[in-house]
Amino acid sequence: MSHTDLVTFSHNMITDHLAFGTSGNLSVREGDLLWITPSGVPFDEVTVQDLVGIHVDTGQQIAGSARPSSELPLHRAVYQARADVQAIVHTHSEYAAVFAACKEPVLPVHYQLAPWEYEIVCADYATYGTYELAQNAVAALGADHHVILLQNHGLLAVAGTLADAYHIARDGEWLAKLYYRARQLGHPQVLSREEIAAVREQFLHYGQTPSV
């Protein structure tokens, strides 16, 4: 994983309908630096030259001339709190934002997120770009959550790789859309923690075994 991968995934944010315009942000950690997308640049126009390198602990801008995303405090706080997190994807995707606006969790009516999460809980509201929002997000993520909602705002996904964080964000939006539509039909059947745990075990045997 290289910070240059942020360009590809930034472009994917538009094609996968996880963002529109300049809403949302992505970052990766490389040693003491976090690389983050720039402020105010449309995702489908982001280039390697737009990426900004920031020292995780000091907040000093080490690389790049662009202004970093306004959510830099959020990214720094998560990296400081979670050593396992190496990538962050923050979206304003439509259905996740609907549940965030209602401060309602997205419940597991499907097992798509089973490898990562049971339900998608919601962090308390705070103004975007603030230390308070960063702390609310860190509190909601705790020690082992990989995806949360930010009240009246959007979705935050974290993982050990940018690909995983992106897929969690994408699947989280898909689950929110499914749950929303299921509620329109009547009474969604929510999977239990035991059922999700069983699916998680099944996923250990999914896909191809790497050749030796």
- For 180-202, how does the pLDDT look when each residue is reduced to its tens digit (9 = 90+)? 999 999 999 999 999 999 999 99
Q: What is the mean pLDDT of residues 48-68?
A: 97
Report CA-CA distances (Å) from 101 to 123, 145, 205. Answer: 11, 20, 37
pLDDT per residue as tens digits for the range 140-155: 999 999 999 999 999 9
pTM metric for this prediction = 0.95
The DSSP letter of residue 106 is B
Set out the domains of the chain in order of their start, with CATH numbers: 5-203 (3.40.225.10)
Question: What is the 8-class DSSP label of residue 18?
Answer: S
d(CA 54, CA 57): 9
pLDDT tens, position by position, 98-143: 999 999 999 999 999 999 999 999 999 999 999 999 999 999 999 9
Whole-number pLDDT of residue 208? 80
Closest CA to 54 of 40, 71, 166, 81: 71
47, two tokens: 């280039």
Cα 107 from Cα 149, distance rounded (Å): 12
CB-CB contact of 165 with 97 (8 Å):
no
- pLDDT exceeds 80 at position 210: no
Active site residues: 71
Helix boundaries (H) for 59-116:
72-81, 94-102
Q: What is the pLDDT of residues 7-51, one digit of tens each?
A: 999 999 999 999 988 899 999 999 999 999 999 999 999 999 999
Cβ neighbours of residue 210 closer than 8 Å, sequence gap 6 or more: none
pLDDT-based confidence at residue 175 (cuts at 50, 70, 90): very high
